[in-house]
Structure 1
Amino acid sequence: MIKQCKVLIFGLAVAASSALAGEFSLTSQTIHEGAMLTNEQVFNGFGCSGENISPDLKWTSGPSGTKSYALTVYDPDAPTGSGWWHWIAYNIPANVTEFSKNAGTEDGALLPAGVVQGRSDFGSYSFGGACPPEGDNAHRYIFTVHALKTEHIELPKDASAALIGFMINANSLGKATLVATYGR
């Protein structure tokens, strides 16, 4: 009887955890889960001639205890051995749950006050669109909003994407993702 109760309690805990995780989601009117990015989200450089416009993004409130958010855009398929960071924004206030289209510009004029953009693998402090090598299979672009248990992540301006990612993961309460693709 005790073993059955433990199994039941474990099952309820897993179900409750899954239900809560399902409530935190990321959506966009510009990009869609599993769909191909458009020329708007393609980089302008490195042999690509896109518009380099970050998509609009909207997320539901994070789990209880969320004090800020971070946003990352990552290509795990880049032929670098470590993927490619296309955009990193952190110290997003907890009351902010969306970014407008083209918010990822170098000047950050469309970002809420206090948001910090980390250095992408393009070397800029802004959104860098898709630009996989010609002939590669379509790459995945993972847009992730992270709910964090801290109001601010304190890092030097030139912190690497890996260091920023470490700090995001060390303070994570949950995350929501949207995956789009692009190939040429």
Structure 2
Amino acid sequence: MSHNPYDDIAKVPTFTVTSSDVTDGEEMAPGHRSGIFGAGGEDVSPQLSWNGFPAETKSFAITMYDPSAPTGAGFWHWAVADVPVTTTSVDTGAGNAVGSGLPAGALQLKNDASLAHYLGAAPPAGHGKHNYYIGIHALDVDSLGLDAGATPSFLGFNMAGHTIARAVITPWYEAK
């Protein structure tokens, strides 16, 4: 697997993330690919569970990023800030358009398509295999103080000084 792009935010210890929907190093299932961008999917966020994070964790952020997107800056598919420390899992579909599966207080930001919900994998046909880095970021603050207009890149910038550990699962998808 290639360089973990989240290490550019902060190189930190790891903890464990698992999913009943996606597997690290395996092809992303169709439901988690994009229907909006024509990859034959349903734009359904995967189930995620995490444990083993530091005791001093005060909140989490959840992100999905494709560093290989042909944009010069990658592509943020999903970004959620201010997930309470009492939350250690999200169900399949939690990142829908209203964030109905996210805990109270969590802030779902607009992705790089300007949609405030999960957007599935959708690399251009013939562009090769893209890795989708799904990260759970353990933070040392209850809230990063972002507003709904914040971008995922701004979330990353604000996480830089507050990330104390991170768990990553990386499925892939290639459009032929």
TM-score normalized by the length of structure 2:
0.89
- Matched with 2:134 is 143
What's the CA shift string for 1:45-98, capped at 9, x where partnerless? 233331111110000042121000001100011011110000001111111100
Number of positions where the alignment pairs a residue of Structure 1 with one of Structure 2: 164
Unaligned runs of 5+ in 1: 1-19
Match of 2:34 among 43, 57, 64: 43
Match of 2:75 among 79, 84, 99: 84
Match of 1:62 among 33, 53, 58: 53
3-state SS, counterpart of residue 25 of structure 2: coil
TM-score normalized by the length of structure 1:
0.86
4+ residue runs over 4 A deviation: none
Task: State yes or no: 1:173 paired with 2:147.
Answer: no
- Matched with 2:5 is none
**Aligned counterparts of 1:110 and 1:117: Cα–Cα separation in 2:** 11
- Matched with 1:17 is none
**Larger RCO (alpha carbons 8 Å, 6+ apart):** 2
The sequence identity of aligned pairs, in percent, is: 34
3-state SS, counterpart of residue 136 of structure 1: coil
CA contact (8 A) 2:27 2:171 kept: yes
* Higher radius of gyration, 1 or 2: 1
Distance apart, 1:33 and its partner CA: 0.8
Amino acid aligned to 1:63: P
CA contact (8 A) 1:61 1:97 kept: no
Distance apart, 1:136 and its partner CA: 1.2
